[in-house]
C-alpha cells in the first residue's frame, strides 16, 4: 500500500478523531468524586514512585503500605502520611482491603501478594516486571484474577506510553500501509526483565501473538545459567498474523546512543520505538534514505502530575499512564494498556527463546505445554536491592533522589 504525504495528513485527521475516545477514556482529567483506596505492597525505590503518583492523582487515596523493612516502613509511612503500616500483604489484608493494590515487590514475592489481594476482594491489582520466573506462577496470578473478576494490570512499561499506544493504533488502522517486516534490536542482557519491554511493544505493534520461536543465544556461560543475566538472543519469531519478526541480540548501528528497540516497516513507512516516543519515517529523500517526520502525537493530558513529582524522570509519562489506564479499567472496564496477561506472555516468549537455543536451535511452539519451565531474572529484580547489595538509604526513602 503506497502512502504519500497528502494521504498521511488526511488519515491523521481521521485517526485522531478515532482516537479521541481513547484519549478521553484514559487520559481525561475530568474525574468523578469517587476516590479509590490504594495499598502499596513493597515500598522500596520503585514502590515509592508508584506511591508518589497515587498520592498526586485526584481520584486515588493512599491508605495502606506493606513493607518488610521495618525502618523503611516507618520512614515511608511518615513521608506519605499513612498510618496503616504492615510488614507484609497478609497482615495488611487482615485489617485493610483497599480498592486497588499495587504489588511492587521483587519478583520472587509477587505471586503471593497478587493472589492474596485477589482472594481478599480488591477491585484491581497491579504488578511490575518481570511478573514471575515460572510460567505456572504467572498462570496462577492471571487465573485467580479472571476467576474473581479482578482487574490485573501490568506496571512501569513503555507499552503504556501514550505515544506508543497512539503509534500502535495508527499501525492497526493501516495508516502507514501493510507491514512488510518487523524486527527487535538489542534483545540481550536480560530477556525476561528488561526484555519484556521489547516483547510487549512487539505484541502491541504487530497486533499478534508469537506462535513459534527459533533462537540462537550466547555467550555459552550465560546460556547455562538459570537466570537471564548477560544472555543475548538472536531469533526468528513466527507471528499469528503479518510478517515474521527478526530478533537481534546486539544493538544495531542506528548512530544513536540507545538503539535497541522495535521496528515495523512497510513499503513507504517505518515506525521505530527506541525507549522513547516512537519515531515515524515516511517517504524517501533524493538519496533514497527514509525521511523522519513529526509524528504530531497528542499532548500528554497528565503532564502536571509528572511536573509536581521531583523524583520522576520528566520522560516517564508511561508510569502515570499505566496507573491511569489501571484506574480507568477498574472504573469503566476499559482495556488495559499493559496487563498481567501481557507480562505473562512476555515471560513465555523469553523462556521459549532460551529453551530453543539450549536444544540446539530447535523450533519451539507456543503456548508451551510444560508450565513448570522457569527463567529467573537477574538477582536485583528477583530478590530486590536489600538482598543484592543495592539497599536504599533511609535518607533517600524520606524523599530524596530515589
Q: What is the mean pLDDT of residues 287-304?
A: 93
- Whether 3 shows a pLDDT value over 50: the answer reads no
Going by pLDDT thresholds of 50, 70 and 90, the confidence category of residue 33 is: low
For residue 3, what are the CA distances in angstroms to 55, 75, 240, 282? 45, 56, 25, 8
Supply the pLDDT for residue 129. 93
Q: Where are the domains of the chain?
A: 162-299
- Pull the grid cell for residue 39: 495499598
- Whether 315 shows a pLDDT value over 80: the answer reads no
Q: What is the mean pLDDT of residues 77-99?
A: 97
Supply the pLDDT for residue 322. 97
d(CA 127, CA 113): 9
Give SS3 for 188. strand
- Whether 113 shows a pLDDT value over 90: the answer reads yes
271 forms beta bridges with 264, 280
Select, from the ranges 16-30, 167-181, 250-264, the one with the highest average predicted confidence (pLDDT): 167-181
- Whether 12 shows a pLDDT value over 50: the answer reads no
pLDDT in tens, 145-176: 999 999 999 999 999 999 999 999 999 999 99
Going by pLDDT thresholds of 50, 70 and 90, the confidence category of residue 16 is: very low
- Whether 347 shows a pLDDT value over 70: the answer reads yes
**CATH class for domain 162-299?**
alpha beta
Mean pLDDT, all residues of the chain: 90
Going by pLDDT thresholds of 50, 70 and 90, the confidence category of residue 295 is: very high
- Whether 5 shows a pLDDT value over 50: the answer reads no
Supply the pLDDT for residue 399. 84
Going by pLDDT thresholds of 50, 70 and 90, the confidence category of residue 222 is: very high
Whole-number percent of the chain with pLDDT over 90: 81
Half-sphere exposure of 351 toward its Cβ, with a 13 Å CA cutoff? 26
pLDDT in tens, 62-81: 999 999 999 999 999 999 99
d(CA 216, CA 80): 47
> Going by C-beta distance under 8 Å and a sequence separation of 6 or more, which residues neighbour residue 49?
156, 311, 312, 319, 402
Q: Which residue has the higher pLDDT, 161 or 303?
A: 161
Going by pLDDT thresholds of 50, 70 and 90, the confidence category of residue 13 is: very low
Q: What is the mean pLDDT of residues 235-257?
A: 84
Amino acid at each position: 500500500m503506497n502512502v504519500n504525504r497528502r494521504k498521511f495528513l488526511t488519515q491523521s485527521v481521521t485517526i485522531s478523531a478515532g482516537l479521541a475516545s481513547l484519549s478521553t477514556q484514559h487520559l481525561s482529567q475530568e474525574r468523578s468524586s469517587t476516590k479509590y483506596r490504594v495499598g502499596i505492597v513493597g515500598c522500596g525505590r520503585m514502590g515509592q514512585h508508584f506511591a508518589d503518583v497515587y498520592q498526586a492523582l485526584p481520584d486515588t487515596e493512599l491508605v495502606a503500605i506493606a513493607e518488610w523493612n521495618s525502618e523503611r516502613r516507618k520512614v515511608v509511612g511518615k513521608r506519605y502520611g499513612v498510618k496503616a503500616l504492615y510488614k507484609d500483604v497478609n497482615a495488611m489484608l487482615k485489617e485493610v482491603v483497599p480498592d486497588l493494590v499495587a504489588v511492587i515487590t521483587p519478583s520472587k514475592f509477587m505471586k503471593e501478594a497478587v493472589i492474596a489481594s485477589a482472594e481478599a476482594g480488591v477491585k484491581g491489582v497491579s504488578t511490575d516486571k518481570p511478573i514471575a520466573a515460572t510460567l505456572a506462577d504467572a498462570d496462577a496470578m492471571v487465573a485467580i484474577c479472571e476467576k474473581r473478576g479482578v482487574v490485573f494490570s501490568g506496571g512501569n512499561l513503555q507499552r503504556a506510553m501514550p505515544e506508543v499506544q497512539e503509534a500502535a493504533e495508527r499501525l492497526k488502522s493501516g495508516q502507514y500501509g501493510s507491514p512488510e517486516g518487523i524486527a527487535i534490536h538489542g534483545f540481550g542482557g536480560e530477556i525476561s526483565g528488561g526484555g519484556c519491554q521489547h516483547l510487549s511493544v512487539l505484541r502491541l505493534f504487530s497486533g499478534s501473538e508469537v506462535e513459534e520461536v527459533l533462537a540462537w543465544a550466547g555467550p555459552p556461560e550465560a546460556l547455562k545459567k538459570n537466570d537471564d543475566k548477560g544472555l543475548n538472543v538472536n531469533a526468528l519469531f513466527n507471528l499469528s498474523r503479518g510478517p515474521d519478526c527478526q530478533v537481534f541480540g546486539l544493538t544495531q548501528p542506528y548512530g544513536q546512543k540507545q538503539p535497541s528497540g522495535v521496528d515495523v516497516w512497510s513499503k513507504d513507512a517505518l515506525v521505530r520505538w527506541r525507549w522513547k516516543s516512537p519515531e515515524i519515517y515516511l517517504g524517501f529523500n533524493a538519496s533514497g534514505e527514509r525521511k523522519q517526520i513529526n509524528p504530531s502525537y497528542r499532548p500528554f493530558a497528565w503532564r502536571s502530575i509528572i511536573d509536581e513529582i521531583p523524583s520522576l524522570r520528566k520522560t516517564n509519562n508511561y508510569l502515570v499512564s499505566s496507573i491511569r489506564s489501571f484506574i480507568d479499567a477498574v472504573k469503566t472496564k476499559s482495556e488495559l494498556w499493559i496487563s498481567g496477561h501481557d507480562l505473562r506472555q512476555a515471560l513465555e516468549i523469553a523462556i521459549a527463546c532460551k529453551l530453543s537455543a539450549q536444544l540446539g536451535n530447535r523450533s519451539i511452539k507456543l503456548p508451551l505445554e510444560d508450565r513448570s519451565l522457569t527463567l529467573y531474572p537477574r538477582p536485583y529484580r528477583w530478590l530486590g536491592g536489600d538482598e543484592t547489595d543495592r539497599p536504599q538509604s533511609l535518607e533517600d526513602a524520606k524523599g530524596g533522589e530515589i
